[in-house]
Amino acid sequence: MAATPLERLVTRLSFAASQAGRVAWYAGHGAAMRRAVRRIDAQHDANHPGTRPQIRKPRGAVPSTRRMLADIAALLKRDLENVEAGLYPLPADNDGTLPARLATSRAFFADVPEVARRRRDRAHREARHEAGAAKRPRYYQQNFHFQSGGWMTPDSARLYDMQVEVLFNGSADAMRRQVLVPMAGELTGRDQRTICYADIACGTGSFLAQVRRAFPRLPCLAIDLSQAYLGETRRRIGRTSIVKPVLAKAEALPLADGGLDLATCIFLFHELPPKIRRLVAAEIGRVVRPGGLFIFVESLQTGDNPDYDGLLELFPQLFHEPYYASYLRTDVTRLFENAGFILEGTTHAVFSKIMRFRRV
Ligand SMILES: C[S@@+](CC[C@H](N)C(=O)[O-])C[C@H]1O[C@@H](n2cnc3c(N)ncnc32)[C@H](O)[C@@H]1O
């Protein structure tokens, strides 16, 4: 049944209030964090002049804050259109209660000096000493983003979404939601309960929480190599048998050949060394059945949006991203064609792109 004008107005007002509030909250944290880092760096420079690694000026264009906020506004407009078209429900608050949000905010700022220290000292191997790290591949035992604990600790899992939203000025969840559009296309007219679906490298489950709301009867495998992040997924989603956490490497998935109808993978590939990237692509090709859909989400690559090229050069200098430069050079279409897929289409969402691959 079509929405009445009053219902549409309520939807729009509630969407505008919640999303504008999120962007202001996270962009405000970003501005305060940069001020804090400048103070920390200035103090260090006064005591140890010339010892801090310098950031190379990017050759490509760097969008202004105003431009990024305009692009985020355009994304949110598209997001609302998707809601109004019935592709998915109004976004729920994925950030917790106000006290929980304030506690995360305090923890975020308390961690800023540690992140600044690691960036300054290029200290990215501390995660090796965290409990359980020795059981993980060596490439994984790093402080990605210079974050405390790497992917290993519950504290890191608790802070991760805040750090990502601050990085993307509050647009990360909206970017991920664009994956729900092709998922809706794939699931329409089918009994969700019969579909085998996995989110590979699900992190803390922020995307799966949105999947749960949009497709409540869809069984989900939540796959990740971090016990701590899977713990956060469980906490976020709650105890339900419809979401099954699976601790596994994406390059060795504990799934049968052709066992999945549908798979998503969001922001994993730029974290992988080139050789592992090829193994993971082949593994996804192995587990998605012929005719199945794989949705890949990653950072834009050089030339995708030339106005953002300089930002892509800056990112791996500011955050520990050892494999990002090689990701920028990767031919993603070829990577997945070699794994048995054909590209059906690509859409951009501010800092990221969403590519739909069909298994041949
Ligand atoms: C940048 S986060 C992305 C998380 C999530 N998909 C999101 O949208 O925020 C990368 C995630 O990949 C996981 N990861 C990294 N290498 C992996 C591997 N080889 N196999 C499985 N998960 C891996 C990490 O534990 C982490 O949760």
Q: What is the pLDDT of residues 229-241, one digit of tens each?
A: 999 999 999 989 9
Pocket of ligand 1 (CB under 6 A): 140, 151, 164, 176, 201-203, 206-207, 224-226, 229, 249-251, 266-268, 271
Residue 272 to residue 334: CA distance in whole angstroms: 17
Q: For tokens 């082949």, what's the residue? A: 282
- In ligand 1, the atom with minimum distance to the C-alpha of 144 is 1
pLDDT computed for residue 1 by the predictor: 67
User: What is the identity of the amino acid at 345?
Assistant: G
Q: What percent of the chain has pLDDT over 90?
A: 86
Closest CA to 266 of 219, 342, 201, 221: 201
Mean pLDDT of the chain: 94
pLDDT computed for residue 52 by the predictor: 86
CA 277 to chain CA mean position, Å: 17
Residue 359 to residue 354: CA distance in whole angstroms: 16
Tell me the pairing of strands 341-349 and 288-299.
Answer: unpaired
CA 75 to chain CA mean position, Å: 16
Residues 6+ apart with CB under 8 A from 267: 201, 203, 297, 298, 299, 352
> Which string of DSSP letters, residue by residue, matches 251-263?
TS-SS-TT-EEEE
The two tokens of residue 136 are 């993980």
Sign of the dihedral through C-alpha 355, 327, 220, 12: negative
CB 231 within 8 A of CB 297: no
pLDDT computed for residue 324 by the predictor: 96
Residue 121 to residue 113: CA distance in whole angstroms: 12
Give whole-number Cα distances, 125 to 40, 41, 119, 140, in Å. 22, 21, 12, 10
- Positions of the chain with pLDDT under 70: 1
If one residue of 146, 179, 271 were mutated to test the ligand 1 pocket, choosing by the most ligand atoms within 8 A of its CB, it would be: 271
pLDDT tens digit sequence for 269-316:
999 999 999 999 999 999 999 999 999 999 999 999 999 999 999 999
CB 354 within 8 A of CB 296: yes
pLDDT computed for residue 2 by the predictor: 76
Distance 269 CA to ligand 1 centre (A): 9
Residues 311-332 as b or e (16 or more Cβ within 10 Å = b): bbbebbbebbbebbeebbebeb
CB 75 within 8 A of CB 175: yes
SS3 347: strand
Q: pTM of the predicted model, to two decimals?
A: 0.96
Edge-to-edge strand list for the sheet holding 288-299: 243-247, 220-224, 197-200, 260-266, 288-299, 352-359, 341-349
Beta bridge partners of 62: none
Residue 53 to residue 360: CA distance in whole angstroms: 47
Closest CA to 347 of 177, 200, 173, 199: 177
- In ligand 1, the atom with minimum distance to the C-alpha of 202 is 6
pLDDT computed for residue 344 by the predictor: 98
Distance 299 CA to ligand 1 centre (A): 14
pLDDT computed for residue 51 by the predictor: 87
Distance 250 CA to ligand 1 centre (A): 9
pLDDT computed for residue 227 by the predictor: 96
Strand (E) or helix (H) holding 296: strand 288-299
